[in-house]
Amino acid sequence: MYEQVSHSLLNAILDDLKPEIRRQDLRHFYTRLGANFYAIYSLFFTLYGHRVDFKAQMLRLVETMARGYIDRSAELERIDIEREQDHNWFLSQKWVGMALYTNGFADNLADLVTKTAYFQELGINLVHIMPILMCPTGKSDGGYAVSDFRQVDDRLGDLNDLRRVAEEFRKRDILLVLDVVMNHTSDEHEWARKASMGDSRYQDYYFVFDNREIPDMFEQTMPQIFPESAPGNFTWNAQMQKWVMTVFHDYQWDLNYSNPEVFIEMLDIILFWANQGVDILRLDAVAFLWKKIGSSCQNERNAHLILQLMKDCCQVTAPGVLFIAEAIVTPLEVIKYFGEDAIIAKECEIAYNATLMALLWDAIATQNTKLLYQGVKNLPAKLERATWLNYVRCHDDIGFGFDDNDIRAAGYEPYAHRQFLVNYFSGQFEGSPARGMVFMRNETTGDARISGSLASLAGLEAGQENNDQGLIDAAIKKILLLHSLILSFGGIPLFYNGDALGVVNDYGYRDDPGKSDDNRWIHRPKINWDRAELRKKQGTTEYSLFNAMKKMIAIRKETSAFADFNNREVVEVDNSHLLCFIRFNHDRPSERVLVVANFDANPQYLDLYLLRSRGIDPFGQFIDAYSGGKPAQYDRRIVLQGYQFYWLTEI
């Protein structure tokens, strides 16, 4: 498309570029800038076109991209070009991820390098290292309150250590994922300090107000994220004598993206990390990027425009780098973070599938799949070149944010059902083996979330404490069942540190004043590597879990039908304890896998007669890819043990 206004502006900008930038070999950069410029210009204009300094800001934006490109190494540029040619590379079933805190997995970044063999032993080839940047002690929100976006926390190492991690990962074909906390900074960040001291340029980086008038208006429609430990969305700053917007904790200041300088600063930071060899950037709390009075200040259209602009700019400089959207919102909203009205992702290529995660936990608690089916069926179709991050546990709490209509359709009353789930996972429900903790009960709305490690929520902690082998076995089966589903559903499975070893809750956070008001620390444990050796000793829980996971991962990697090309058909069956879907190879649709999972503690059967319309022979013969054997079958029924799953292929 030839668009005069944007093209003449582009020419003017190129004339104005600083001489040291003009002199470099920018061939690929110019090609990509030319291709993306109309989109970049239009988005930047929509967001900032009303400002008198629009053109000057636009020039700074292009300079930032150009400088980022000049700093990009030849090796990274080679990878960019490779990925541009093989643009579906991340949809492959070969990727299997793990998220970890550096000091929960190793002593520091240097020590992490020495432990990478563990990833390969298990089959992990995508590692999300949780925030590693400078954070004030005790006011860090687990690393999500950054005080310097370019400095590694010296307790973990320095930039050279991180580069070594990136190199080591690249050698072993492991993708590196790091966070960029886009929505807010720590109150000790230089920008916030300058703002506190009265510098109005930096006050414009945030939302600051002289009195409560506007904050009170915002509060009328904004929900609370941490109602127990950080009520309200604004904090009084005595030094500045002003109120500042702090949606998360009072020490996390929300950045103001209606200021183009903020956007350009954050783009610069994103490109900086892309140039350190990061393959995928996790963009934190993206739903919150735009604030509008009268709204919940989540999922605003301009938040999407900011992300589209970020993607377009990043593609010019570092096109091989992907974005993960961390937006823990309803399915209808989350799907928009891939980009609306697009075929390929134009915002983030990957998004957390929080809906599936919460639905899986619902099925564990209820031992039935009524809500799970409802939710999976209503999961909107996603774009062709975009994928889910499927997970069971992560470093955050579990919220039961299902659609109320889905809950009703499953036959429950929404409020009572959520209460049941909270009671079940906090072990207050009679007979529940779960050992979670209630997180952030909101007395006004009645809402509450759950903290706890996978093993403890599945009943392993209770089983081990009471020496109850039955409970232990059931917990192991539940853990494997959940993992079998995130491995086969479609998308990138993301395990959490310790979950392949059955690591239970860590109550040590209670003694640390910087952590004691946040029970999410219960599920951010440190691996005990002596104990982890038990994964090599037959008969231990560690052995059972680790080896089963390792086997599942290896099978996933060999099963083309598990790649993510919108190649899943959900199958309704007449047994409400089962979840059943078909995955097929998108190149050869006859090559398919029938996934069946039993959430009940008791044996259940699947009537194959109901699968006739899917072309499955009710009297056909099957092989279970996981066990390597034939499933128990009689008549036209396939039988599953309590908490068993199958990955069936027809023979």
Residues in contact with ligand GLC by the rule CB under 6 A: 141-142, 144, 225, 248, 284-285, 326, 328, 395-397, 399
Amino acid at 388: W
Active site residue 326: yes
Kindly state the tokens that stand for 121.
């032993």
Q: How far is the CB of 284 from ligand GLC (least distance, A)?
A: 5
What gap in Å lies between CA 20 and CA 189, rounded to an integer? 30
Q: How far is the CB of 184 from ligand GLC (least distance, A)?
A: 6
Look at residues 363, 397, 557 and name the one whose alpha carbon lies nearest to residue 478: 363
Local structure of residue 397 (DSSP, 8 states): -
List Cα–Cα distances, 494 to 393, 396, 490, 500, in angstroms: 9, 14, 12, 11
Tally the C-alpha atoms within 13 A of residue 617's C-alpha that lie toward its C-beta.
7
> Between 136 and 399, whose beta carbon lies closer to ligand GLC?
399
Local structure of residue 381 (DSSP, 8 states): P
Q: Which residue is nearest to ligand GLC (CB)?
A: 144
Active-site choice (284, 397, 499, 542): 284
> Between 347 and 397, whose beta carbon lies closer to ligand GLC?
397
Q: How far is the CB of 296 from ligand GLC (least distance, A)?
A: 11
Kindly state the tokens that stand for 156.
């973990």
Q: How far is the CB of 496 from ligand GLC (least distance, A)?
A: 12
Provide the 10 A C-beta neighbour count for residue 84: 14
> Between 169 and 248, whose beta carbon lies closer to ligand GLC?
248
Encode burial over 9-26: b for 16+ CB neighbours within 10 A, e otherwise: bbeebbeebeeebeeeeb
Provide the 10 A C-beta neighbour count for residue 2: 6
Active-site choice (326, 362, 397, 564): 326
> Between 134 and 606, whose beta carbon lies closer to ligand GLC?
134
> Between 396 and 624, whose beta carbon lies closer to ligand GLC?
396
Q: Which residues lie closer than 8 Å to 538 by C-beta, 6 or more apart?
A: none
> Between 222 and 328, whose beta carbon lies closer to ligand GLC?
328
Q: How far is the CB of 132 from ligand GLC (least distance, A)?
A: 14
Q: How far is the CB of 87 from ligand GLC (least distance, A)?
A: 28
Local structure of residue 43 (DSSP, 8 states): H
Kindly state the tokens that stand for 133.
């940047």
Q: How far is the CB of 141 from ligand GLC (least distance, A)?
A: 5
What gap in Å lies between CA 237 and CA 239, rounded to an integer? 6
Active site residue 284: yes
State the burial class of residue 85 (Cβ atoms within 10 Å of its Cβ: 0-12, 13-18, 19+): exposed
> Between 225 and 472, whose beta carbon lies closer to ligand GLC?
225
Kindly state the tokens that stand for 189.
């960040």
What gap in Å lies between CA 75 and CA 398, rounded to an integer? 40
What gap in Å lies between CA 622 and CA 628, rounded to an integer? 10
Q: How far is the CB of 249 from ligand GLC (least distance, A)?
A: 8
* 596 close to 633: Cβ distance less than 8 angstroms: no
* 191 close to 205: Cβ distance less than 8 angstroms: yes
What gap in Å lies between CA 133 and CA 140, rounded to an integer? 10
Q: Which residues are catalytic?
A: 284, 326
